[in-house]
């Protein structure tokens, strides 16, 4: 029995240690980097006959913000300054810990950074899906220094849009504009946490260089668009931050840049983002436990002396989540949910799919060789489209 305890402890510590250590192209996507100093992943540039590929630019506060009056012709410096003062408070820094594929088929967690913009006083934040994809923990920092734990409300990987929510009072809110009114040559301002530099968001200015662009994130992937092209500087860490017109309205969500060229960045039109947000917020809720886990196999059990050769090993438990409140612990092996045996992760997902958020279920776990029954009230899972 002692061998079992040490085996589970060693395996969970091994996996959790990986998790705790892990948060622009050839085309580069303006995306979250594994750490603030690591270079973004390069991609090969597409040939002229195919859509160019991009690298995501990630790194990431909001009370309604009144739009500044347009500056007189030629007074662009004043207009940009006004926009920066008006919108920057609603731009947040997003820090994540995410699971990425690693050795032996386990997940290794890396730290990444990105940006976001609060668009609703209830604490809803618009960002890129690639900023929060796989996140086990999301920390949101506002420009005034307040920090919140963020939770994913919904995701649309195909459109690189995600909605995160924080719970706070007196949040600054940015105004969403109408991207259909954009014109080539129009001045815009990009705001975001470029490279994760200290001291708050970075503000850059440029023009709308083109509309309805299409890019491919990497070779073999489907084309992504339509996008706004801009020469306002977008760098890793900017992903999820707003592209703003001179009226202080968000007209795009920054997502990518071309590494091998100067002044070529891309943003998702805000009208497209608004459509996706509406779909995400209206989607049918799904139940969840709030755990990070891996399937137990006979080989894994033999290597680490686990007490059972089938089941779902709990690596991490979301603080305050349904499993945490029920007493589930890292190292527990889930072997049954109600009357259904659980041999792997697919079995667990299928069993959860038979229930609704708010349902109470009996979770049977093997803890150090002994089976324990726990009553869990299921929570609501983030939406993925």
Looking at the structure, tell me whether residues 121 and 225 fall in a common domain.
yes
Coil, helix or strand at residue 2:
helix
**359 annotated active-site:** no
Looking at the structure, tell me whether residues 197 and 299 fall in a common domain.
no
**160 annotated active-site:** yes
Considering only residues 301 and 258, tell me which one the structure prediction assigns the higher pLDDT: 301
Residue after which a domain boundary falls, among 283, 318, 342: 283
Q: Which of 26, 130, 156, 347 is catalytic?
A: 130
pLDDT value at residue 247: 92
Looking at the structure, tell me whether residues 164 and 131 fall in a common domain.
yes
CA angle centred on 154, ends 159 and 355, rounded to 5°: 130
Work out the number of other CB atoms within 10 angstroms of the CB of residue 195. Answer: 17
How many domains, in total, are found in the chain?
2
Looking at the structure, tell me whether residues 238 and 373 fall in a common domain.
no
Looking at the structure, tell me whether residues 152 and 257 fall in a common domain.
yes
Indicate whether 7 belongs to any domain. Answer: no
Question: What number is the average pLDDT over the span 62-71?
Answer: 44
Q: Tell me the pLDDT tens digit for each residue of 74-88.
A: 477 788 889 989 999
Looking at the structure, tell me whether residues 190 and 294 fall in a common domain.
no
pLDDT value at residue 67: 46
Q: Which of 26, 32, 239, 293 is catalytic?
A: 239
pLDDT value at residue 270: 95
Looking at the structure, tell me whether residues 191 and 295 fall in a common domain.
no
Q: CB neighbours of 383 closer than 8 A, spacing ≥ 6?
A: 153, 154, 155, 280, 283, 285, 286
Least confident of 35-39, 123-127, 250-254, 260-264: 35-39
pLDDT value at residue 238: 81
* Dihedral of alpha carbons 351, 280, 27, 223, sign: positive
Indicate whether 2 belongs to any domain. Answer: no
Considering only residues 241 and 6, tell me which one the structure prediction assigns the higher pLDDT: 241
Indicate whether 150 belongs to any domain. Answer: yes
- Please determine, for residue 33, whether its predicted confidence score (pLDDT) is greater than 70: no
pLDDT value at residue 109: 64
pLDDT value at residue 99: 61
* pLDDT classification of 26: cutoffs 50, 70, 90: very low
Indicate whether 259 belongs to any domain. Answer: yes
Mean pLDDT of all residues belonging to the chain: 79
Indicate whether 115 belongs to any domain. Answer: yes
Question: What number is the average pLDDT over the span 278-299?
Answer: 86
Residue after which a domain boundary falls, among 231, 252, 283: 283
Work out the number of other CB atoms within 10 angstroms of the CB of residue 42. Answer: 16
DSSP 82-131: HHHHHHGGGEEEEEEEEEEE-GGG-EEEEEEEEEEEEEETTTEEEE-HHH
* pLDDT classification of 359: cutoffs 50, 70, 90: very high
pLDDT value at residue 126: 96
Indicate whether 4 belongs to any domain. Answer: no
Q: Tell me the pLDDT tens digit for each residue of 137-165.
A: 899 999 888 999 998 988 888 889 999 99
Residue after which a domain boundary falls, among 268, 283, 298: 283
The parent domain of residue 154 ranges over: 21-283
Looking at the structure, tell me whether residues 171 and 277 fall in a common domain.
yes
Q: Which of 120, 129, 160, 347 is catalytic?
A: 160
* pLDDT classification of 316: cutoffs 50, 70, 90: confident
Indicate whether 230 belongs to any domain. Answer: yes
Question: What number is the average pLDDT over the span 279-297?
Answer: 85
**355 annotated active-site:** no
Looking at the structure, tell me whether residues 300 and 278 fall in a common domain.
no
Specify whether the backbone of 310 is left (phi greater than 0), alpha (psi in -120 to 50) or beta. Answer: beta
């Amino acid at each position: 029995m002692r061998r079992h305890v040490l085996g589970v402890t060693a395996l969970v510590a091994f996996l959790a240690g990986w998790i705790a250590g892990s948060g622009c192209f050839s085309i580069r996507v303006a995306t979250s980097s594994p750490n603030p100093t690591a270079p973004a992943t390069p991609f090969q540039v597409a040939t002229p006959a195919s859509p160019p590929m991009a690298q995501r630019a990630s790194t990431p506060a909001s009370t309604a913000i009144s739009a500044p009056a347009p500056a007189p012709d030629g007074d662009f410096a004043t207009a940009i300054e006004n926009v920066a003062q008006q919108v920057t408070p609603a731009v947040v820094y997003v820090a994540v810990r995410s699971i990425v594929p690693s050795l032996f088929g386990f997940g290794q967690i890396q730290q990444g950074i990105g940006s976001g913009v609060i668009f609703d006083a209830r604490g809803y934040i618009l960002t890129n899906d690639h900023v929060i994809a796989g996140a086990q923990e999301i920390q949101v920092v506002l420009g005034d220094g307040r920090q919140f734990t963020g939770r994913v409300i919904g995701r649309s990987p195909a459109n690189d849009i995600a909605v995160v929510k924080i719970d706070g009072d007196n949040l600054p809110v940015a105004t969403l504009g109408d991207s259909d009114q954009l014109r080539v040559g129009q001045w815009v301002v990009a705001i975001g946490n470029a490279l994760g530099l200290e001291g708050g968001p970075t503000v850059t200015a440029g023009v709308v260089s083109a509309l309805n662009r299409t890019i491919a994130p990497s070779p073999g992937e489907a084309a992504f668009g339509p996008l706004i092209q801009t020469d306002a500087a977008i760098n890793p860490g900017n992903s999820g931050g707003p592209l703003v017109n001179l009226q202080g309205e968000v007209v795009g969500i920054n997502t990518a840049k071309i590494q091998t060229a100067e002044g070529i960045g891309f943003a998702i039109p805000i009208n497209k983002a608004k459509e996706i947000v509406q779909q995400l917020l209206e989607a049918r809720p799904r139940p969840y436990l709030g755990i990070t886990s891996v399937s137990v196999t006979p080989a894994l059990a033999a290597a680490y002396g686990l007490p059972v050769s089938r089941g779902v090993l709990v690596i991490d438990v979301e603080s305050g989540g349904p499993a945490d409140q029920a007493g589930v612990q890292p190292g527990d092996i889930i072997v049954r949910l109600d009357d259904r045996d659980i041999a792997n992760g697919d079995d667990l997902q299928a069993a959860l799919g038979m229930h609704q958020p708010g349902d109470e279920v009996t979770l049977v776990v093997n803890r150090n060789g002994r089976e324990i029954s726990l009553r869990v009230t299921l929570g609501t899972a983030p939406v993925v489209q």
